[in-house]
Structures are given as structure tokens and as C-alpha cells.
Amino acid sequence: MIGTKEAARILGLRPGTLLKAIWEGRLREPVRGPGKAFIWSDDDLRRAAWLLRHKDLDAVLAERRVQGDGGPQHV
């Protein structure tokens, strides 16, 4: 489970893009942590990749590796 900033980096998006999608109702809100920040699960990342990037998360991660970002190794 990760925060919004890291989720955005993994997906190749800006954090504001993820938050806007939630506020507009296009993306289901992830669970909130004790400080009310969103905590993104693997399922949340997969759903966001499909809805916002129109790709499976594995394809997004592979694309990010080719571009040199690499993304996280734990997803």
C-alpha cells in the first residue's frame, strides 16, 4: 500500500490527476489512512491504470521500465 504521490509516479501521472479523477467520480476512492490520506492498494493501481491510462497495470509498468523510470519492484 502506497500514497498518492507514489501511485501517480508508478502510473506516469501527476498526483493531481488521480485526485481529480476521484473528486469527479471517475475513480473509486481508495481507503484512507489515519491522517485521511489515500492509501493505494494493488487493486486501486490496476483500476486507475485501466481507467486513466487505458492499459493494464503490467503494461504501464513495462512501458515505464522502457522509458527508464523503472517503477517500483514490489508491484
Class of domain 4-66: mainly alpha
In whole angstroms, what is the distance from residue 55 CA to residue 23 CA? 21
What pLDDT, on the 0 to 100 scale, is given for residue 64?
Answer: 83
What pLDDT, on the 0 to 100 scale, is given for residue 66?
Answer: 81
What pLDDT, on the 0 to 100 scale, is given for residue 69?
Answer: 62
pLDDT in tens, the chain (75 residues): 899 999 999 999 999 999 999 999 999 999 999 899 999 999 999 999 999 999 999 999 998 888 776 555 444
What pLDDT, on the 0 to 100 scale, is given for residue 13?
Answer: 95
